[in-house]
């Protein structure tokens, strides 16, 4: 079942800006993978994936102001640790957009970060998506969301999804996305943050090693059960359909995550999985009060650095 992107373009807080607006603020969500099927390694070094992305209400915020050069400052998660030079995905996104649109990449960018670094929540990709939306408005380049998603695909596999948001099927290396559900804010989650991060390429290398040694199952073919579960309202049914092929690899590299997952299940979570490549974990709750209690229990159990509640799906990068 494919549906239109949610919310429709121009809604959900996106207001048209006059060319050359003085300041633009964009909010962008983290993503979790409700299902992540990892296929074979391709000739280009990427794995073929079949995934269901889901945008949740854990946000970074990017402000773009006029400037004489391109500069980046930040506060929050990862400040002092994350390089703010040309290696930052924000700088790459600004330059890709400027090249595409034939304008000069001049802006003062400031990031307020809540999504942890290397957490399996695609924070860097989210920031890149926010930059495309913010600079498009600041520079008055007026690109459509589809055009921004094409540029996004050159920056990283998860970036096109974060331009759109909602819930979407991702194929190829994850960059080919199509919407699967238009209903807003239906599901309640808890996300645990870990002390430190896992490098995504290392987690993929680990799953390759484990599969070669027969220690991890091959991927399931298609996320059919998950897509069916999304069409009904019972969180227990959705919980039973969640799946992540990278989980055995993340657990092998970070064994303590096993305790985090079991603590969530003991505290009443309907399901518990590693988020993407980890080490963040996601837990499904029955409703908002259930998520609040679960987050408090997980924080008290000492099995994570922090536990946050979130709902989904939410919109992708949007002007606020
Ligand atoms: P994914 O789930 O997409 O694999 P992740 O959540 O595990 O990503 P990110 O925080 O998105 O990890 O980024 C991984 C790496 O990308 C970081 O360790 C950092 O070196 C680099 N990076 C570049 N720009 C950014 C940014 N703006 N925010 C976060 N990381 C960035």
Distance 98 CA to ligand 1 centre (A): 22
| Residue bearing the CA closest to ligand 1, atom 17 | 118
Distance 124 CA to ligand 1 centre (A): 4
The 3-state secondary structure of 20-45, one letter per residue: CCCEEEEEEEEEEEEEEEEEEECCCC
State how far the Cα of 12 lies from the Cα of 205, in Å rounded to an integer.
39
- Reading the block at residue 133, the tokens are 């939306």
Which of the four pLDDT bands, split at 50, 70 and 90, describes residue 17?
low
Please list, in sequence order, all residues whose beta carbon lies within 8 angstroms of the beta carbon of residue 278, skipping any fewer than 6 positions away: 119, 120, 194, 198, 203, 246, 247, 250, 253, 254, 257
Q: What is the pLDDT of residues 125-165, one digit of tens each?
A: 999 999 999 999 999 999 999 999 999 999 999 999 999 99
| Residue bearing the CA closest to ligand 1, atom 16 | 124
Q: Parse the chain into domains and list their residue ranges.
A: 2-180+315-319, 184-311
Give the number of the atom of ligand 1 that is nearest the alpha carbon of residue 92. 24
Residue 10 predicted with pLDDT over 80 = no
Question: Which helix H or strand E contains 54, and what residues bound it?
Answer: strand 47-65
Provide the CATH number for the domain formed by 184-311 in this structure. Answer: 3.30.70.890
Please list, in sequence order, all residues whose beta carbon lies within 8 angstroms of the beta carbon of residue 290, skipping any fewer than 6 positions away: 188, 268
- Interhelix angle 257-266/288-300, rounded to 10 degrees, is 130
Q: Which residues are catalytic?
A: 31, 158
Alpha-carbon radius of gyration of the chain: 19
Pocket probe mutation, ligand 1, options 26, 83, 117, 157, max atoms within 8 Å of Cβ:
117
Pocket probe mutation, ligand 1, options 47, 85, 123, max atoms within 8 Å of Cβ:
123
Q: What percent of the chain has pLDDT over 90?
A: 81
Residue 19 predicted with pLDDT over 80 = no
- When pLDDT is averaged across residues 77-85 and rounded to a whole number, the result is 96
Identify which of 164, 167, 170 has the alpha carbon closest to the alpha carbon of residue 148: 164
Distance 13 CA to ligand 1 centre (A): 26
* Ligand 1 pocket residues where CB is under 6 Å: 82, 88-90, 117-125, 127, 158, 197, 200, 276-277
pLDDT, position 218 = 67
Distance 117 CA to ligand 1 centre (A): 6
| Residue bearing the CA closest to ligand 1, atom 15 | 118
Residue 236 predicted with pLDDT over 90 = yes
Q: What is the pLDDT of residues 164-173, one digit of tens each?
A: 999 999 999 8
Give the number of the atom of ligand 1 that is nearest the alpha carbon of residue 123. 11
Distance 121 CA to ligand 1 centre (A): 9
| Residue bearing the CA closest to ligand 1, atom 3 | 122
Give the number of the atom of ligand 1 that is nearest the alpha carbon of residue 125. 11
Give the number of the atom of ligand 1 that is nearest the alpha carbon of residue 74. 27
- When pLDDT is averaged across residues 255-262 and rounded to a whole number, the result is 97
Provide the CATH number for the domain formed by 2-180+315-319 in this structure. Answer: 3.30.230.10
Residue 219 predicted with pLDDT over 70 = no
């Amino acid at each position: 079942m494919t549906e239109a992107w949610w919310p429709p373009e121009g809604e959900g807080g996106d207001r048209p800006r006059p060319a050359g607006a003085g300041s633009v603020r964009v909010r962008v969500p983290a993503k979790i993978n409700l299902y992540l099927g990892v296929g074979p390694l391709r000739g280009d070094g990427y794995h073929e994936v079949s995934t269901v992305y889901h945008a949740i209400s854990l946000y970074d915020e990017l402000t773009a102001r006029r400037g004489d050069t391109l500069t980046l400052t930040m506060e929050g998660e990862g400040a002092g640790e994350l390089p703010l030079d040309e290696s930052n995905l924000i700088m790459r996104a600004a330059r890709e957009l400027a090249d595409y649109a034939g304008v000069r990449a001049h802006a003062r960018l400031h990031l307020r970060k809540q999504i942890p670094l290397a957490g399996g929540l695609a924070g860097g990709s989210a920031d890149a998506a926010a930059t495309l939306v913010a600079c498009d408005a600041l520079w008055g380049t007026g690109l459509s969301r589809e055009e921004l998603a094409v540029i996004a695909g050159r920056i990283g596999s998860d970036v096109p999804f974060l331009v759109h948001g909602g819930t979407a099927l991702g194929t190829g290396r994850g960059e080919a996305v199509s919407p699967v559900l238009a209903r807003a804010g239906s599901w309640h989650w808890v996300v645990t943050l870990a002390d430190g991060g896992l490098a995504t390429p290392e987690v993929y290398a680990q799953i390759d090693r484990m599969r070669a040694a027969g220690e991890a199952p091959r991927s399931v073919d298609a996320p059919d059960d998950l897509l069916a579960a999304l069409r009904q309202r019972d969180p227990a049914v959705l919980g039973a359909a969640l799946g992540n092929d990278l989980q055995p690899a993340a657990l092998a590299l970070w064994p303590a995550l096993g305790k985090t997952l079991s603590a969530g299940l003991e505290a009443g979570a309907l399901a518990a999985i590693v988020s993407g490549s980890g080490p963040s974990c996601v837990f499904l709750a029955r409703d908002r009060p259930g998520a609040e209690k679960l987050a408090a229990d997980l924080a008290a159990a000492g099995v994570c650095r922090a536990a946050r509640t979130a709902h989904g799906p939410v919109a992708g990068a949007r002007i606020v």
